């Protein structure tokens, strides 16, 4: 039993010795490897200057340049183009004559119809004068007729009044004669003298005859009085009849005059106005300044489409770009943008987002793959009116989501995130004595991260330092060979 225990302990000791040798070897190799890595001169890395820059975060997009203000020149005429003064690419100013249609047939129609209307107007004017004269005559005839009727009334009244006056006069005379007669009768009856009686009775008889004569005249006159009354009424009836007839004649003339405006045939004038409008349309003017981008007519041809040509304002340009679903909610109207074009080299032009279309539009890419190229869209308006863009030119757009001016910054690839969440960069530090460059790790506080650069808020980094672009490839203190990095 003791021999067995001794053997076991010997085995354990041997194993421990082997493990100790392995651990020492691994540590030694690790130190040698680290020393080799720190001293090797085969590590080549890119570095960039730490400097103040304008940094920005943006979305890249592309599209073709088009006019923000486009107008289609249209015409309803179907006529032969007599002269065409523009071609595709022509620059025009507002008011320039673009083309002229042959107006000979229209002019002939206009002249003939105008002559017909003028003759008709002359006849209408003559008829109107006659109708006005008839109305005036009817009014004058009314005055004459009523004046005559009034005179008849006045005459009848005068005759009637004289008759009634005569009747009063005769009545008074009869009554007076009756009184004289009765008085003579009384005297005769009371007289005892035969001679005197005879004389008085004779006077009485004469008085009786005068009474009878006067009474006969009175009775005859009284029989005529109703006729005089009837004559006055008849005269008044004649007046009213004459007035009614005259008013009817006047109204008839007035109705004829009033009916003139309803009897006028305005269809000819309407047609003449249409022909006049067509004659004006024969000369087509530019409604605004711009460049002719499409042309659907030719000199000598007859128009088959209402769209003659298109004019676009080259001084007011926009670019419609597709925005991916991941970015569309970041884009808003009024955002700044920068526009470039391969044809214009490195020149950049300021722009802004003028419209965002939050409706997905599908499409198929034109690269032959058949993949979808749809998305949302935005309109970019070029602010710089002195730009050199041409309509139809391909352009690249950077929509600025966020930006800062003149801040200390480094390439965003150079920032290394540590395990504790802090950030650091590796500076390329060259020893003047040995001319050896090593990577020095320094902690920094970062701010805004743009598309290519990250803002440095604080840390042992200053303007003019050189920072290793790929920080993940470095170890603090290792020797490096530095070349200038290409950072956009």
- 1 assigned to some structural domain: no
- 21 assigned to some structural domain: no
Number of residues that this document lists for the chain = 488
DSSP SS3 for 243:
helix
Residues 167, 227, single domain; the answer is yes
- 12 assigned to some structural domain: no
Residues 112, 208, single domain; the answer is yes
Residue 77 lies in domain: 73-99+282-311
- C-alpha 402/C-alpha 468 separation (Å) is 25
User: Which of 237, 268, 299 finishes a domain?
Assistant: 268
Distances (CA, A) of 390 to 68, 94, 294, 386, 484: 13, 20, 15, 12, 37
Domain count, the chain: 4
Does the pLDDT value for residue 10 go beyond 80? Answer: no
Distances (CA, A) of 268 to 116, 117, 143, 157, 435: 9, 7, 42, 61, 103
Residues 461, 437, single domain; the answer is yes
CATH number of residue 324's parent domain: 2.40.30.170
DSSP structure class, residue 314: T
Residues 304, 321, single domain; the answer is no
> Which among 337, 333, 345 is positioned nearest to 389, based on CA atoms?
345
Looking up tokens 């005759």, which residue turns up?
159
pLDDT in tens, 342-364: 888 888 888 999 999 988 876 54
Q: Helical H runs in 264-397?
A: 267-281
DSSP structure class, residue 472: G
Mean of per-residue pLDDT scores for the chain:
84
Does the pLDDT value for residue 307 go beyond 90? Answer: no
Residues 445, 391, single domain; the answer is no
Residues 83, 133, single domain; the answer is no
Beta bridge partners of 355: 379
- 31 assigned to some structural domain: no
- C-alpha 60/C-alpha 322 separation (Å) is 10
pLDDT in tens, 17-64: 556 545 444 434 444 434 444 444 457 888 889 999 988 888 889 999
Does the pLDDT value for residue 147 go beyond 90? Answer: yes
Instruction: Name the percent of the chain in helix, strand, coil, to the closest 5.
Output: 45, 30, 25
Residues 389, 443, single domain; the answer is no
- 157 assigned to some structural domain: yes
Residues 471, 412, single domain; the answer is yes
- State the pLDDT at residue 361: 79
CATH number of residue 305's parent domain: 2.40.50.100
What six digits make up the tokens of 206?
């004469």
Residues 117, 247, single domain; the answer is yes
Distances (CA, A) of 27 to 207, 368, 436: 193, 59, 27
- 150 assigned to some structural domain: yes
């Amino acid at each position: 039993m003791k021999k067995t225990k001794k053997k076991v302990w010997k085995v354990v000791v041997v194993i421990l010795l082997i493990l100790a040798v392995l651990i020492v070897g691994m540590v030694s190799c690790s130190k040698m490897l680290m020393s080799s890595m720190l001293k090797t001169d085969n590590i080549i890395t890119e570095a960039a200057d730490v400097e103040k820059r304008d940094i920005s975060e943006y979305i890249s997009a592309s599209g073709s340049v088009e006019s923000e203000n486009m107008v289609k020149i249209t015409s309803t005429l179907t006529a032969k183009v007599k002269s065409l003064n523009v071609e595709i690419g022509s620059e025009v100013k507002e008011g320039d004559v673009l083309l002229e249609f042959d107006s000979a047939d229209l002019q002939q129609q206009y002249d003939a119809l105008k002559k017909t209307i003028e003759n008709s107007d002359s006849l209408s004017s003559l008829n109107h004068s006659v109708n006005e004269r008839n109305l005036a005559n009817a009014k004058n005839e009314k005055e004459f007729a009523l004046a005559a009727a009034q005179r008849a009334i006045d005459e009848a009244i005068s005759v009637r009044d004289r008759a009634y006056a005569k009747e009063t006069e005769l009545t008074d005379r009869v009554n007076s004669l009756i009184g004289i007669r009765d008085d003579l009768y009384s005297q005769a009856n009371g007289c005892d003298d035969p001679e005197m009686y005879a004389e008085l009775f004779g006077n009485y008889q004469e008085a009786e005859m005068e009474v009878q004569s006067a009474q006969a005249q009175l009775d005859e006159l009284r029989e005529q009085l109703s006729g005089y009354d009837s004559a006055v009424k008849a005269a008044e009836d004649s007046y009213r009849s004459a007035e009614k007839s005259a008013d009817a004649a006047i109204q008839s003339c007035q109705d004829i005059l009033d009916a003139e405006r309803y009897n006028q045939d305005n269809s000819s004038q309407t047609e003449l106005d249409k022909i006049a409008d067509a004659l004006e349309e024969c000369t087509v003017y530019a409604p605004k300044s711009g460049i002719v981008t499409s042309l659907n007519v030719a000199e000598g041809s007859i128009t088959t489409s209402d769209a003659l040509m298109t004019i676009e304002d080259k001084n007011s340009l926009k670019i419609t770009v597709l925005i991916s679903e991941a970015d569309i909610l970041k884009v808003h109207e009024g955002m700044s943008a920068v526009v470039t074009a391969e044809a214009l080299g490195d020149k950049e032009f300021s722009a802004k987002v003028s419209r965002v279309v939050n409706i997905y539009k599908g499409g198929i890419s034109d690269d032959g793959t058949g993949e979808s190229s749809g998305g949302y869209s935005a309109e970019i308006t070029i602010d710089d009116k002195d730009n050199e863009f041409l309509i139809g030119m391909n352009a690249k757009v950077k929509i600025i989501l966020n930006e800062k001016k003149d801040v200390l910054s480094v390439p965003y690839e150079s920032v290394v995130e540590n395990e504790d969440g802090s950030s650091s960069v590796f500076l390329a530090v060259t020893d003047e004595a040995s001319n050896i460059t090593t990577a020095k790790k320094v902690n920094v506080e970062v701010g805004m991260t743009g598309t290519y650069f990250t803002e440095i808020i604080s840390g042992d980094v200053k303007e003019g330092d050189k920072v290793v672009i790929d920080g993940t490839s470095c170890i603090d203190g290792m020797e490096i060979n530095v070349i200038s990095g290409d950072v956009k």
